[in-house]
Structure 1
Amino acid sequence: MKSARIPCNLVTGEEVIEEFDETGRPAGLCSGTVEMMDINRQMDVAVLDEIQMIDDAERGWAWTQAFLAVQAREIHLCGDPNTEELVRKLAAQAGDELEVVNYTRLSPLEIEKRELGDDLQKLQPGDCLVFFSKRHILAAKNIIEAETGDKCAVIYGSLPAETRSKQAELFNDPDSDVKYLVASDAIGMGLNLAVRRIIFSRVRKFNGHELIKLPIAQVKQIAGRAGRFQTAPSKDSRDTRSTGNVGYVTSLHAHDREYIEQCLALPSPPVKQAAFFPSDTIIQEFAHFIGPQSPYHQMLARLEASIKLPPLYKFVDLSNMITTSKIFANIRGLLLEEMMTLAKAPVSSTDERVKSAFYSFCLVIANGQSKTITEIPNTGVGYLGMSVIPNARPSDTFESIHRVLSLYLWLSYRFPTHFLDRTGAMQLKELCETKINDLLKKSPSISRIVGRKKAKSFKATALHDDSEPLNHLQPPSPRRPRAPTRRYSSF
């Protein structure tokens, strides 16, 4: 919208940017994350993208709430057709009219007849290799740059959104020296990428508990990134493809290519349930019912065990919310309404710095204090002024600090009297992004990092088995009231 000079607001959990038209009135258009959908505002049109996320175990409730509660005359749902039957049933329950519009992919998608193998000289500009761990992504980036002499962008889930966008911009620019992309399944949503060929390193990933084969829907979503964005013709002599917008898909291994071909030939399994999370009013009533002395995380566990839902709905997974609530369990002075908000905060359960900072933030609220980010302990922002990070991987450290700053900004919009100097925190966040971008530009030598004798073994491990951590080798890292009638147009 902004590139077309159309005023449009941006609303996310960590940032609110308001635009105004030529008369000084607030922009009528608004873009944002689905969790921030304003269900109390009258709208003419609402657009919900990625509607298949409605059954997501953690975030699906936001799509369900937006779908059923937004006050719009017309709603457009965009996403995988595998949600069509569920959408029909939900629309029927709401008494709304449904119109289904199926679109055909504009650019063809072809699976190549042969796998790539480990010959990196077969890589072509516009290729994207998909791995499923950050360590293997960074390892593959450095190997590719060392063997081909060309630059490689990276995208993975723990990178800041701003950094992912910057990496995508570098990869998309035909005049930049970035020819390849190594990414996780994070490329499946939210980014426009000039990918010509998707190359799967594996079709297995670790889901936090065990190794599983990629679901059909995920294979199709990742593979579908090929050829979906206008790709500029490359001047590289090795790029022998036509300049058409055809998308190609392959893998490093023959057996994986066969599985990918099977997935692309099958329809995605239907989405059968919409995720549900109760309103604040219901949570308050339940908390008062079981008694004010019960810790908030125990109240959530009892709520999860007690609630009964109709067949079309499933209760969200409260694991992360319960884990977050345990962090402030022994802090006195927090009100129920404050705990309800804090439990929803974006706290990484695997990042000790973020958890420590969150505990400090909760103390600020409980003690009725007002502080800037630099006045609060355990945030790690002091590292931003250091030229060398001691005893740590710089990229991991800066990504962790970025999560702390994003958390602070998230809280500043919900507890503005407690968390001051939002502008200063935003500036530190931007500095953190700059440092991460600078680190990603560096490509240490593989042999220098792991030793010449191990370099060959390291390449084999990085390119052929990203399903488990690299335990025996040190992977390379950068140097140190609802409208009465609504019409749904979907798919």
Structure 2
Amino acid sequence: MAKAPLILSGRDVTAVLGPTNTGKTHLAIERMLAHDSGLIGLPLRLLAREVYNRISEKIGPDRVSLITGEEKIIPLGAPYSVCTVEALPRETKASFVAIDEVQLAGDLARGHIFTDRILHLRGTQETMLLGASTMQGILQKLLPGLNVISRPRFSQLLYAGSKKLTRLPSRTAIVAFSADDVYSIAELIKRQRGGAAVVMGALSPRTRNAQVALYQSGDVDFLVATDAIGMGLNLDVDHVAFAQTRKFDGYQFRDLTAAEMAQIAGRAGRHMRDGTFGVTGRIADLDKDLVERIESHHFDPVKVLQWRSESLDFSTLDSLRKSLETAAPLEGLARALPAVDVQALDNLSRDYDIIRLADRPERVSLLWDACALPDYRKIAPAQHAEIIANIYRDLVKRGSVNENYLAEQVSQADRVDGNIDTLSHRIAQIRTWTFVSHRPGWLTNPQHWQEKTREIEDRLSDALHERLTKRFVDRRTSVLMRRLRENVMMDAEIVQTGDVLVEGHHVGKLDGFRFIADVNGEGADAKALRAAADKILAVEFEKKADRLAASANGDFAIGSDGVVRWIGQPLASLAATDDILKPRAVLLADEQLTGQAREKVAERVDRFVSFHFETALKPLFDLINADALVGMTRGLAFRLVEHLGVLPRRDVAEEVKSLDQISRAALRRLGTRFGAFHIFLPMMLKPAPAQAITLLWALKNHARDLPGYGDVLQVLAAGRTSVVVDPAFNPTFYQLAGYRILGRRAVRVDILERLADLIRNAVNWKPGSGSRPDGAYDGRQFLVTPAMMSILGATAEDMEEILKSLGYRFDKKDKAEVLAKLKEFDQASTEETKPVAANVRPAEPVGDFINAAALQKTPSKPESKTPDAEPVGPHFTKKTTEEEEKPVLLWHYQGRHDYRPSRSNNDRKKRSEQRFEKSGEKSGEKSGQKPGEGAEKTGEPRRDKQRPRKNSSFNNPKADASYRQHKPKAQSKPVDPDSPFAKLAALRDQLKK
């Protein structure tokens, strides 16, 4: 084919050159509308749509067309057309032609298209080239006679240095060059400043328009974008911050040129308002020389334009490829690198099927048209070529694209689920088929598919905009920022759940009398939001204080954290005072609760706190307020209160010894129990009092964070009589909860008293004094029984530790000896008992301890054939030649006594007969006491408070034997059978039997 001659004249061509914000595009629109017809070519579909909308508003949509690769709006007879540069015709009869952003003629990917239109496309009356001043030299060289008009910038562009992302001013555009960086910056801006709009070249025009509108409307104050904003988008930007200064240009990563940075930075400032630019993130300050060039708009001139031959030879595939490799005919033009269409042609030229089909010029030309399909998806060249091959085969063989194939491809993109990247991929896919639907002659029903693909793209674009907004914009902040700029009083309300809404958006929650701001409420609008919320909070606090003052005690509670709550809402936090039983309440309230309302709340909280502890700790307050207690009795009561209801008996042994029966009775009436091991208040061992005591101690000692706080109370609430001690817990919490740590277990103090009762019954028994109780043995010794372990919930090992911790020791005895002794005791008893048969199974195993229950009063089965058969079980097993029998442990108290058991009348009657031997000497001991009870560390016996008569044998150990032999028998006196004492004696005798 013959080549078309180059136009080497600039006659009737005007180049309007200058930096951004010089009004070049606006001038071109005005000049075009001054003619009866015209064309204007723009670099982006987005910018073309913007200019189309502006012209439509001026002259009406029926007089202007929009022509892009994916969209065509062509009213019949419309004299004006707005196009992308790729969609501009190569020849026209229009009076006016304008080409915007002509500096893109140097772009490696698209530059050859701009160069072609610059050299060949002319209006019949006027042609205007718009672009940067760097194009002046090359345009004058290629187009002699060119008329150049330089336009200065309306406003100044100044460098503002480096700023942190979180400190950038409002109305800032942040520039990055990868989707990941754009997304991460936008998320950070959302967290810190409320949200950001996102503009990238990969977004569909509809989505980009929606994002730009989000920013322009003021819903957000920040825009995160790629260099797409540098191409003519008119934005209300005050500052441009570069988060990156390197980009991938399709071939390599490289630094931005000064002209490219100026093109992007030039978006700052609008008309006569100055703008600033700078860097952010990890970008170092810009070089002074670079800053000066950007501010003064002095850049290196463009010396070479990309060019590709416009005269192509379609006779064969090889001829076409050779014509595309034609060298540039003029100095200043450089043959363009292979673009997407050339790469696709190269791939298809190696496909035998395609070579066979492209056998004549018209089919080669059709193949080249098919190769013009843009690679919206940015996939591998081979994959993109495969799509073109499928389309080309249909066009050759069928005359049009197979609609079944097209429908299948379109349906794959017709889904709005998925994340941002998924939707972006589907939009790129549907844009491919939108482009196909607009190619003339490719489809049998192009209008249907144009509408179908447009509908899908719009739906996907809207979904993508929604996802972007949801991810990168806090809607609440965006709406509120607009209201703040409008300086309008904002509406606030408090819903039933306590949420505080301002203009229908959640800004915080009312918790008691405190306003807890939303964690996302930080930023420029935070103060205004709080001010709007404060107005309604002040009114709500007044109403709430009245409701609280009239509330019953049942609406209040105190948690283990020391917080007083009203209907679940925190009101106050308890703090310790000098009096541990009377903590003070510190209100948890904002400053809006003032005056009389605050006094009402404080008074009602104080009343409940006093009521709560006086009710839960009533036994302690009864001791404090008991005016009848005087002297030693009051001192003991004070010490009991000081120790919060549990007092080790040995710590007050002397005081207890000094009390008379009247004083003891007075303390008992106030709930005090004189136990063997403790003086305590049984009512204080319940869960509620124990929780109150533990809380008060924790407040006093700042111990709420110590391990074990609150955990021991759960055990007490579950009714556990003893628990295994957790070494990680603070031991004090066990004591406060009413437990005593004995070995590896902690035992409740009232359960220890039950154990003391069982031991007391066993050690007080003497042979011949009646039926032998469980565990009873001769003298001070006793045997551990299952009943003792059962009440403690302890094993044999635990029982050994517990008894040792209480001061007991054991003697090992031969089993046969113990068995014989027990049989002897039972035979001497007043009641008839039988020895345990050999096949009687003990109730519970007790390790090395004897199972005393198996040796007493257990109903026996018929006697075995062997009259001397031994009990069997874990403690009494048949003796073998290889194994020796384990000894039996007989327990007795050794050392200073930890308790003083109460005496019965029989104990008092026999106390002068009780003796024990210690350190080789005999000394008198009061009846009913355990060995060594009340003795000092020197081993001296304690004197009973009711001293015996001087002539008593209790004071004369030498007369002990004769006293027993010559003791006169008590003479019985006749008793009146109607006397209540006679009835009482008869009842006692019956109980003994």
Question: What TM-score, normalized to structure 1?
Answer: 0.74
**Does residue 442 of structure 2 align to residue 398 of structure 1?**
no
Q: Distance in 2 between matches of 1:66 and 1:383?
A: 35
Amino acid at match of 1:346: P
Instruction: Show the 5 A alignment for 1:2-13.
Output: 2-6=56-60, 7-13=63-69
User: Is 1:154–1:167's contact at 8 Å kept on the other side of the alignment?
Assistant: yes
Query: In the TM superposition, what is the alpha-carbon distance from 1:65 to its structure 2 partner?
Result: 2.3
Aligned to 1:311: 331
> Is the aligned partner of 1:204 residue 2:246?
yes
Instruction: Write the mapping of 1:325-336 to structure 2, written as runs, cut at 5 A.
Output: 325-326=345-346, 328-329=348-349, 330=351, 331-332=353-354, 333-334=357-358, 335-336=363-364
Q: For 1:145-189, what per-residue CA distance to the aligned partner results, in whole angstroms no more than 9, with x for missing partners?
A: 0122x1210111111122212211111113xx2211001111110
* 1:384 Cα offset (Å): 2.8
Q: CA deviation at 1:84?
A: 0.7
Amino acid at match of 2:159: I
Which residue among 426, 441, 451 is the counterpart of 2:469? 441
Partners of 1:58 and 1:254 in 2: CA distance: 28
- Alpha carbons of structure 1 residues 39 and 207: separation in structure 2 relative to 1, 3 Å: closer
Please give the per-residue CA displacement for 1:39-95, whole angstroms capped at 9, x wherever unaligned.
Answer: 332122211111111222222222222222223121111111111111112221xxx
Counterparts of 2:75 and 2:309, CA distance in 1? 33
For residues 325 and 116 of structure 2, the distance between their equivalents in structure 1, rounded to whole angstroms, comes to 21
2:172 is the counterpart of 1:127: yes
- Equivalent residue in structure 2 for 1:218, among 260, 263, 268: 260
Distance 2:78 2:416 in 1: 41
* Correspondence for 1:75: 127
Contact 1:351 1:400 in 2 (8 A): no
1:269 maps to 300
Match of 2:201 in 1: 157
Q: Which residue of 2 aligns with 1:337?
A: 365
**Are residue 376 (structure 1) and residue 396 (structure 2) matched?**
no
Cα deviation for residue 14 of structure 1 reads 1.5
Q: Which of residues 413, 432, 437 in structure 2 aligns to 1:412?
A: 437
Pairwise mapping of residues 59-208 of structure 1 onto structure 2 (< 5 A)? 59-72=110-123, 73-92=125-144, 97-112=145-160, 114-118=161-165, 120=166, 122-148=167-193, 150-174=194-218, 177-208=219-250
Residues 261 and 381 of structure 1, relative CA distance in 2, 3 Å threshold: farther
- Conserved 8 A contact 1:354-1:404: no
Q: Does the 8 A contact of 2:199 with 2:211 survive in 1?
A: yes
Percent of aligned pairs with the same amino acid = 21
Aligned to 1:41: 92
Tell whether the 8 Å contact from 1:309 to 1:315 is kept in structure 2 after alignment: no
Residue identity in the other structure for 1:29: Y
| CA–CA separation in structure 2 for the residues paired with 1:186 and 1:33 | 15
Within the candidate set 280, 283, 296, 2:312 is matched to 283
Matched, 1:247 2:267: no
Deviation at 1:396, TM superposition (A): 2.4
Greater length-normalized contact order (CA 8 Å, ≥ 6 residues apart): 1
The answer to whether the Cα contact below 8 Å between 1:129 and 1:201 also exists between their aligned partners in 2 is yes
Contact 2:247/2:253 (<8 A) preserved: yes
- Residues 186 and 472 in structure 2, CA contact (< 8 A), matched pair in contact too: no
Partner amino acid for 2:168?
L
Separation in structure 2 between the aligned mates of residue 166 and residue 356 of structure 1, nearest angstrom:
34
CA distance in 1, matches of 2:258, 2:412: 45
* Cα distance in 1 for residues equivalent to 2:236 and 2:245: 22
1:195–1:156 Cα change, 3 Å: same
Residues 277 and 316, structure 1, Cα contact 8 Å, conserved in 2: yes
Instruction: Say if 1:47 and 1:383 are closer, same or farther in 2 by CA, change over 3 A.
Output: closer
For 1:232-272, what per-residue CA distance to the aligned partner results, in whole angstroms no more than 9, with x for missing partners?
xxxxxxxxxxxx72211111157333365144146221112
Structure 2: stretches of 5+ with no match in the other structure: 1-54, 474-993
Alpha-carbon RMSD across the aligned residues, in angstroms, is: 2.7
Greater mean alpha carbon deviation, residues 197-206 or residues 244-253: 244-253
After superposing the two structures, state which structure 1 stretch, 68-77 or 183-192, moved more. Answer: 68-77
CA offsets, 1:81-124, max 9 Å, x none? 111111112221xxxx4322111111221111x31034x0x133
* Aligned-partner SS, 1:427: helix
Name the aligned partner's letter for residue 155 of structure 1.
V
> Could you tell me whether the CA contact under 8 Å between 2:195 and 2:472 is conserved in 1?
no
- Give the drift of 1:126: 0.7
Contact 2:413–2:427 (CA under 8 A) maintained in structure 1:
no
**Structure 2 vs 1, CA of residues 375 and 228 (structure 1 numbering), >3 Å: closer, same or farther?**
same
DSSP-derived class of the 2:244 partner: coil
For the residue of structure 2 that corresponds to 1:4, the secondary structure is helix
SS in structure 1 opposite 2:224?
strand
Cα distance, 1:203 vs structure 2: 1.9
SS in 1 for 2:103: helix
Give the residue type in structure 2 aligned to 1:312. G
> Larger C-alpha radius of gyration, 1 or 2?
2
Q: TM-score, normalised by structure 2?
A: 0.38
**Which of 446, 452, 456 is the matching residue for 1:424?**
452
For 2:369 and 2:191, the matched residues in 1 are separated by 47
Partner secondary structure for residue 178 of structure 1: coil
SS of equivalent to 1:57: coil
The structural deviation recorded for 1:417 is 4.0
User: What per-residue deviation string (whole Å, max 9, x for no partner) do you get for residues 376-397 of structure 1?
Assistant: 377364353364x4xxxx3223
Distance in 1, matches of 2:438 and 2:279, equals 44
Is the partner of 1:76 in helix, strand or coil? strand
